Structure 1
Amino acid sequence: MPNPPRPDPIAAGAEARRLLRGAASATLATQSDGQPFASLVTPAMAPDLGALLLLSTLSEHTRHLLREPRCALLVVGTAEDANPQTAPRVTLTGLAEQVSAAEVPALKARWLARHPYAALYAGFGDFSLWRLRPGGALLVGGFARAIRLPLAALLPDPAALAAVAAAAADILDHMNAEHADALAAIATRRLGGPEGAWRMTGVDVDGIDLAGPDEAVRRFNFAAPAGNSGEVRQALVAATRAARAANG
């Protein structure tokens, strides 16, 4: 039997980013004196794919990271059938660091947009924002489908990242002010969100983040990474049309 074709690294990198950006929870692996330790965390991804974590100094994994910043983050998607091994998953490896004071307001707002329920405790003095800077990843797209991803394949294209980041504030303002109905259609008809008012809380090269009623959040992934604001607009127009068509 011939070997299956090797996955394209760039396409696999985009798949890994979609899994990471859509994750509501993940497993964080740390170590202390050579003893591995795993814990549940709630990540949010910065536009550049830095994994943001709000961690308490009371947590064992935080004490581990203060001594040894090397760590890994495992995100698991939905299995195709009863076999858990068919679930896509990605292990992100890298170095954890505390986010600098200057970066905290913007990055904490992004993290809270993904986890709005955490506003109840995010301001407690023992919590601080951390970032896992990626060093590489392993994507398992399903059973017997694995590929190691170097940073060149994993991270967004730098030019596209800069172009979308430069336009992000204008995109959010425009969509929330002028196209709230389109956002609601995408959230409810394409993503299964509850009926009600929805707004866009984030945009990056891979998709958009949406927030709705009762702290509901949804992630909409573009079919392909956007290289600039024009391609973001094209993706949103196509998503809106598909959502409205699905609504009859």
Structure 2
Amino acid sequence: MTDITASATGDHQVAGDGRAGRPPPPPPLTQVPASRRRTAGEEARTLVAQTNVATLATLSDDGTPWASLVSYAALDDGSPVLFVSTLAEHGRNLDRDPRASLVVAAAERRKDPLAAGRVTLAGRVTRPSGEIERVARAAYLASVPTAAMYAEFGDFSLYLLGVERVRWVGGYGRMDSADAEAYANAEADPVGEARAAITHLNDDHADALLIMAQALGGYPDAETARCTAADRYGLDLMVGTPRGSAPTRVGFAEPVTEPAGLRAATVELTRRARAAAPVAG
């Protein structure tokens, strides 16, 4: 009989010792200052703000699920705006049954698409009216400019998805849920995916990343460090030590409030790491 034990993520079960035969990462040698992370609501709002394409799941008249590729916009509270035609099955489905869910996925440029972030928003659609309809229509046309060509077609209807459940997955072993209130009150991270910034840090500032890992990340024995992710609160690093490789995180002094603020926050983090580094000799 296969031995099944819960892994450290709490969401998965894996066979054997829970580590797929790999040794655990070496622990930090020094105390790592607490670093804030994005909540599930913030992760979801950030993904929703990054694109305008999603997979819409609706219910057909016989009760079977039906998935379709759609464009969308989002209001200030994150509510997705859909503009669909009854010539399409998903349009007829929404016209009959308001239950729906939307899957928004981050573009994945690596070999494994399941390592990318994605979020499922589930709830019920309504047809907006009055001022809300005007705002929703304007948001959709701003997000999907080509919609102006069919905005007045009689078979198209505007819908708002009232989000009731949120499930965010950040890749393997990273997942969490948020309720409707937490999602609506969260903000999209102005840093976004920061792929260009991460590449720049790894290509041109490996020395600074290494000092961060050594002085602030808990690994004074680190020999290498690469940035694997960046957000408004800090940087995720993968460090290489004589004891093996391990992930760590270093936090910014203050949250980044605009896209251009990531550079200044990283410069401040580098200065702080250099100041905290032990003096050689």
After TM superposition, is the score higher than 0.5?
Answer: yes
1:65 equivalent to 2:99? Answer no
The structural deviation recorded for 1:38 is: 0.5
Task: Find the residue that maps to 2:42 and give its secondary structure.
Answer: helix
1:116-166 CA-partner distances (Å, limit 9, x unpaired): 122111122222211000001111101232212222332215xx9xxxxxx
Distance 1:129 1:65 in 2: 11
Q: Do the aligned partners of residues 153 and 240 (structure 1) sit closer, same or farther apart at CA in structure 2, a change above 3 Å counting?
A: same
Instruction: Select which of 43, 46, 54 maps to 1:18.
Output: 46
Distance 2:48 2:94 in 1: 21
1:51 equivalent to 2:80? Answer yes
Whether contact under 8 Å (2:166, 2:178) holds in the other structure is yes
1:153-190 CA-partner distances (Å, limit 9, x unpaired): 32215xx9xxxxxxxxxxxxxxxxxxxxxxxxxxxx98
Q: Do the aligned partners of residues 153 and 103 (structure 1) sit closer, same or farther apart at CA in structure 2, a change above 3 Å counting?
A: closer
Instruction: Select which of 213, 235, 248 maps to 2:258.
Output: 235
* Counterpart position of 1:198: none
The structural deviation recorded for 1:59 is: 1.7
* Counterpart position of 2:232: 223
1:94 equivalent to 2:138? Answer no
The structural deviation recorded for 1:102 is: 3.5
Distance 1:66 1:4 in 2: 43
Where does the alignment leave 5 or more consecutive residues of structure 2 unmatched?
12-35, 188-195, 198-230, 234-255, 266-281
Q: Do the aligned partners of residues 37 and 234 (structure 1) sit closer, same or farther apart at CA in structure 2, a change above 3 Å counting?
A: closer
Name the larger-Rg structure. Answer: 2
The structural deviation recorded for 1:78 is: 2.4
Instruction: Give the CA RMSD over aligned residues.
Output: 3.4
The structural deviation recorded for 1:3 is: 4.7
Q: Do the aligned partners of residues 152 and 103 (structure 1) sit closer, same or farther apart at CA in structure 2, a change above 3 Å counting?
A: closer
More displaced stretch, 134-143 vs 233-242: 233-242
1:36 equivalent to 2:52? Answer no
Amino acid at match of 1:238: G
More helix by share: 1
1:155 equivalent to 2:155? Answer no
1:174-214 CA-partner distances (Å, limit 9, x unpaired): xxxxxxxxxxxxxxx98xxxxxxxxxxxxxxxxxxxxxxxx
TM-score of the superposed pair, with normalisation by structure 2: 0.54
Amino acid at match of 1:223: R
Work out the number of aligned pairs and report it. Answer: 177
Whether contact under 8 Å (1:80, 1:86) holds in the other structure is no
Q: Do the aligned partners of residues 156 and 10 (structure 1) sit closer, same or farther apart at CA in structure 2, a change above 3 Å counting?
A: farther
1:74 equivalent to 2:103? Answer yes
Distance 1:115 1:48 in 2: 19
